[in-house]
Structure 1
């Protein structure tokens, strides 16, 4: 698949993995849950492994443990092929409404790790993220507890999700940060020091975080992998979605970026991506991923899908070579209208 298939390091001295991972959240919750199909999702995870994808991303909160159990079933006979990433520090209070709270207490995190190990059916987690920083617990305390679990052999490497540059630096001073996971795409560029027209929220436990600067630059300087989630804008950048086309319970049904007004105001983004896609005989999804992969050598996006067809489509993005003019045009796209949480 060309030089973009050259493996990228998951943090300084960490395992080298293929440049695209697989995000598994949507297999369990968040999007069109009425179409959830565990057997099909397991086949997609295994197809990803067959294609050489190694980084498989899940979290305890996705379906309140369902997603970890699903991933565990998918990799049961393929453990050596997968680099398993999961997350803790978020706790589901009510599954139907997705109400949750943050809990970064050391005692809680120890319990979260043990529960994830059991659900995944493995004896060591390759990459464990603090899913969100608990405002009631200094990040240094949460991180120190996770570092102890590395020393105990429960975890191989540690990551942070949706943090500020200050929080990342504070953690890194205690124990190496292998990866930062944050939302980054052509319509969410907050980790580059930009913000959307309406700044991201944060009033909910799973809400986003202001990075407080160029978080991507920090990861590059510190040899930390950057793992963008929602690299296709939660499906928006595929150009296939319409306002009002989401079922009840779908995250996007009540999200500010998926209103009719937002679709209209963000149309310039999808139109430019479509123009570049046409020039390459490619799909908008492939162009969005190619832009991310070109952005930095430590970038390892994790597009999610429940479709083997879309999986193959995403992997084909590794063959696309954008021209300098195309990269510049995409980078100059306006910031997205609407808060992301």
Structure 2
């Protein structure tokens, strides 16, 4: 696996998004979940992305079990700043210094490690100045509990203000052929300041994976059923876009997932996609994308086949999109 630089942190060119191993994607057999993480480590996909809210702590515990005895091989990235109880109704943002520090202690315990390589503020709390949140991160760095700091889904001004307090290593944002919002000012600010970009959902929540043909392919417990892009009508329109991309992938002798991931890889040497994988075989298939070469004509064709305005539906459901700056100007956007 090639390596890339996120700020001062050296990481593989592709990471593993671990969220779906605990929830949101339907049941994953525990043994298979561990095999997926172990396969990733074996193949050099050593950046493991998790968060305290995934499975209400289950996902961090899973990652902790997976890296036991292999901690020196792994780059562990986790997140804080969203407080979540049972169900969605109690979900809220909290970026206070106290909550950040307490969340870190709980994450360290669940992961079973003495430090977190990359600690993100999962969402910017509009009621807490970003400087206050970053002071909490700075204290954790001074204590040796975290090594690098990241932001998730933050706007350009927030990135600048945060970086002025403590160096930001990575911005994590959704980025795929179907989700392009980060390509505006936020990306420009990151490149100006030397901040890397970690692309989550690089397969558009599975739309670009090649594994979903109809809505019936999703289990009853799969949270994508409430995502606007999977609503009847929207789903059919989006799958027509996927079909055109599948034709291109077939001519190249690769899968549509490998084509979509390769496109993300080609967005710059400071970009690292973190596709999810619920099975070890998915990890192996995704890794191949890192060796796919796309020329200028290939990239231009992909842009023509999947223009951002052609994708039907918002990228997030109402609960998650409500946590992003929308409508009136967000105080930290």
Give the structure-1-normalised TM-score. 0.88
2:242 is aligned with 1:250: no
Q: Are 1:20 and 2:14 matched, yes or no?
A: yes
Matches within 5 A, 1:265-280: 265-280=237-252
Cα distance in 2 for partners of 1:163, 1:141 equals 15
Question: 1:136 is paired with a residue of what secondary structure?
Answer: coil
* 1:330 aligned onto 2:305: no
Report matched runs for 1:76-225 at 5 Å. Answer: 76-95=68-87, 97=88, 99-193=90-184, 214-225=185-196
Cα deviations by residue, 1:249-287 (Å, 9 ceiling, x for unpaired):
422111111012112222342123212211211000000
CA–CA distance in 1 between the matches of 2:23 and 2:12? 26
Question: SS of the residue aligned with 1:127?
Answer: strand
2:204 aligns with 233
Deviates more, 1:228-237 or 1:249-258: 249-258
SS, match of residue 238 in structure 1: coil
Q: Any stretches of 5+ residues in structure 2 without a counterpart? A: 317-333
Task: Give the Cα–Cα distance (whole angstroms) in 2 for the partners of residues 98 and 40 of structure 1.
Answer: 31
Matched, 1:340 2:308: no
Q: C-alpha displacement at 1:322, in angstroms? A: 1.4
SS in 2 for 1:182: strand
Partner residue in 2 for 1:294: 266
Structure 1 CA distance for aligned equivalents of residues 89 and 285 of structure 2: 30
1:272·1:330 contact (CA, 8 Å) conserved in 2?
A: no
1:37, CA displacement in angstroms? 1.6
> RMSD between aligned alpha carbons?
1.4
Structure with more of its chain in helix, by fraction: 2
- Could you say what secondary structure the match of 2:108 adopts? helix
8 Å Cα contact 1:191-1:215 kept in structure 2? yes
3-state DSSP of counterpart to 1:219: helix
How far off is 1:99 after superposition? 4.4
SS in 1 for 2:33: helix
Which of 62, 65, 70 is the matching residue for 2:62? 70
Write the distance in 2 (CA, Å) between the matches of 1:323 and 1:272.
18
CA contact (8 A) 1:21 1:303 kept: yes
Q: How far does the alpha carbon of each residue in 1:202-224 deviate from its partner, in whole angstroms, 9 at most, with x for none?
A: xxxxxxxxxxxx32222222211
Unaligned runs of 5+ in 1: 194-213
State the alpha-carbon separation in 2 of the partners of residues 63 and 217 from structure 1. 34
Does the Cα contact within 8 Å between 2:49 and 2:77 map onto a contact in 1?
yes
